[in-house]
Structure 1
Amino acid sequence: MTDSDSDGAGTLPAGAGNRRVSRHRDPTAGTTDLRRVGANPDFWYPVALSRSVRDGRVLATAFAGRRIALYRGESGAIYALEDRCAHRQVPLSMGVVEGETLRCCYHAWAYRGDGRISHIPYLAKGDGLPPRGVRGYPVREAYGLVFVFPGAPEKAAVTALPEVPAFGSAKYKTMTFSRTVRCHYSFMHENLLDMNHQFLHRGIVGRLHPELLEYRTGERSVEARYLFTHAGGKRNRGATLLASKGVRRSASYDLMTIRTEYPYQTLDLVPENAERPAFHLWAAYVPEDSEQRSCRAYGLLMIQKPGIPGALQLAWPFIRRFTERVFAEDRMAVEAEQRAWEEQGEDRNLEVFPLILDVREVLRANGVPLRPQVAACGTAEPSR
């Protein structure tokens, strides 16, 4: 590992010696099975695309088995409520938006955006409302996504949203992804960090040779820097356009920096002699079910605009198709890993790559024990 802080734009960083792991023993022996570690709820997690939460409509979503109803009020503000009516437990996502309140479809109980009951139509005048309603989650919109804070509410105000500076830059155009992947979120972190899996994409990108130059690990992060060279084979047009900002080039290498900054992940690709990345990727993997064997992957791919006006717009369909094909192959692989874990009942991976052993430790250290299944039905959720 190294303490180098160079940004690597247009230059080759010096390599560094990494910790060696014996191939004759299991380096994870005696540790907690990472696939039984839950995502820490004390962070902002995207749970929907902003455009999916339309005016006056309700959207059902979830975080780790906690069902959440999103709705947009008349003012345009988005609210996030525990997706169950306190009366008969019918999902509030089936309800009706009235102004800034959400009314249950069953007996018309109305809730404010903080989860408190505002009206029960058949109560006699003078009868008091129940003191408790449902949980209201802190919610914010940014980068075309809706973020909720599923953890301790008092921590929301002091926990920053992830920073995605290239999203608002006039130099980049953003492509947004949102896909369900049937695997534990940790498989996604490992997949992106371990670029030795490029053989999987040989039919799309040709034969790429990735070389790990250096990596470093902190309490909440792992960052790796790779040198990529094209070793032959047919290269997909979308890959060429993506790496060259829409203009064909003959560069001999690309520098790629990938970082897990718990719980998010980023990737930057800098072509040879370039002043800035050709593209940035920001990703989050949001567990959906209580056992966290399925997650929703959200991605923001920010691609540098070329000097030729309109060139990127023309290339957009090819880039979209390329990225979808790469993601489909990655999803196939990680879902196969998840199936193997379920068949074997434990993690039997014989991992020898120090980088991945380190990111597993970061995910373990920052994660939380999986909640008991009973909590997923809402009985363990505090009401207000």
Structure 2
Amino acid sequence: MTEDSGQRHPQTASGADLRRVGIHPDFWYPVARSKDVSRGRTFAAVFAGERIALYRTESGAVFALEDRCAHRQVPLSMGVVEGETLRCCYHAWAYRGNGHISQIPYLPKGVSRPPRGVRAFPVRERYGFVFVFPGDRERAETTPLPELPEFAAPTHKTMTFSRTVRCHYSFMHENLLDMNHQFLHRGVLGRIKPELLGYETGSRFVEARYLFVPGGGKKDRGAGLLSAEGIGGSTSPDVITVRTEYPYQTLQAVPVKDDQPAFSLWVAYVPKDAEQRMNHTFGLLAIARPPVPGLIELAWPFIRRFTERVFAEDRMAVEAEQRAWDEQGEDRNHEVFPLILHVRDVLRANGVPLEGQAVTP
């Protein structure tokens, strides 16, 4: 697809209802913050209705198992970590990190072989999150984690987000990619005038560039600290680049008179329920440190307050969209922005049908 193309994909006119399309499991998804999985403790996570028991062993390794004991189906997330094993809280069946049963304390000799165990998920830790691979485990080794070099760089300070939002994950992609909704944030951002500079699309991505020109009006103090005016007081507008690279999304803000991002955002929308009408949003916001030492720490509370206000307003809107879909039983949106029609095509083409739901045009 060429840059700035306004042509609608043929699939869009006859495509399935996007809200009935599930996210593809063959990717790495964050399901918890690393700090929520303490050494020697368990944590109950979930991906699209599939319950996952995370636990950190005494050596510090994190494992992810299907959250049920093979014996009586009691959740293993209620279990007890002993050294490098996880014991079910009910009858103390012990599990290794590969999901195999290592011990049944009262099993008599000569009794038939016990069940092998439960499913184990590939798991990795990075950027302060625990990622699992819920799809075909043979693809885990060849599927890369997202590369986010600025989130570990000493030149940036990173803020972590972890929030449940009651909507299909596609509403989140549309919300961030469509910067025409800034009227929603008029009490926080002031009268911002977003101008679409152009966009590019492909089979797995949509990327858009906007010029954000301040238009006056009252705005949250944290908004100024994150925009081009920043802590340094620049008055130039920002170029905002938003990209959906399936299944993740990123946003960067670069002042027009600079070539380095003022901040970078990475987000993943992880479905929680089997119907995927609810997602957990995991995000990382990396903010460039100003030249003056310690200044970013002073500004941090204002930046945090601003981001929480913006997120709360976005959540209000997308949850209202989901309620409308639930009430109407179908997608009655009349979208006129070509960019959003393209991202819908990307999400459809890369997703999977939801189990038990008819996917109809």
Normalised to the residue count of structure 2, the TM-score between the two structures is 0.96
**Separation in 1 of the partners of 2:66 and 2:112?**
22
Determine if contact 2:211/2:240 at 8 Å carries over to the other structure: yes
- Paired residues of 1:120 and 1:129 also in contact (CA < 8 A): no
Matched, 1:180 2:173: no
Select 2:84's aligned residue among 89, 92, 100: 100
Cα distance in 2 for partners of 1:2, 1:257 equals 17
1:325 is matched with which residue: 286, 309, 326? 309
Aligned equivalent of 1:311: 295
For the pair 1:260 / 2:244, whether they are aligned, the reply is: yes
Which residue pairs with 1:54 in the alignment? 38
2:134 to 122, 131, 150: 150
Instruction: Give the unaligned 5+ runs of structure 1.
Output: 4-15, 374-384
Secondary structure, counterpart of 1:307 in structure 2: coil
Mapping of residues 205-224 of structure 1, within 5 Å: 205-224=189-208
Q: Verify the 8 A CA contact 1:245 1:303 in the aligned structure 2.
A: no
Matches within 5 A, 1:224-263: 224-244=208-228, 246-263=230-247
Contact 1:117 1:129 in 2 (8 A): no
> Does the CA-based 8 Å contact 1:83-1:93 persist in structure 2?
yes
Letter in 2 for 1:321: R
CA deviation profile, 1:3-57 (whole Å, cap 9, x unmatched): 5xxxxxxxxxxxx4x3156xxxx99443200000000000000000000000111
> What's the offset of the Cα at 1:275?
2.5
Cα distance in 1, alignment partners of residues 326 and 209 from structure 2: 32
Structure 1 range deviating more: 260-269 or 163-172: 163-172
Q: Which amino acid aligns with 2:324?
A: A
**Contact 1:240–1:248 (CA<8 Å) still a contact in 2?**
no
| Count of aligned pairs | 357
Unaligned runs of 5+ residues in structure 2 are none
1:336 maps to 2:320:
yes
RMSD of the alignment, in Å? 1.7
Q: 2:6 maps to what in 1?
A: 19
Partner of 1:271: 255
Bigger CA drift: 121-130 or 157-166?
121-130
TM-score (norm. length: structure 1): 0.90
Distance 2:169 2:239 in 1: 26
The equivalent residue for 1:380 is none
In structure 1, give the amino acid aligned to 2:261.
P
Per-residue deviation at 1:235?
Answer: 2.3
Following superposition, which runs of at least 4 residues in structure 1 exceed 6 angstroms of deviation? Answer: none
State the Cα deviation string for residues 291-346 of structure 1 (Å, max 9, x = none). 00000000000000000110000000000000000000000000000000000000
Asked if the contact 2:228/2:237 (under 8 Å) is kept, the reply is: no
- Distance, in Å, in 2 between the alignment partners of 1:111 and 1:245 is 55
Shift of 1:94: 0.4
Percent identity between matched residues is: 71
- After superposition, residues 65-144 of structure 1 pair within 5 angstroms as 65-127=49-111, 129-144=113-128
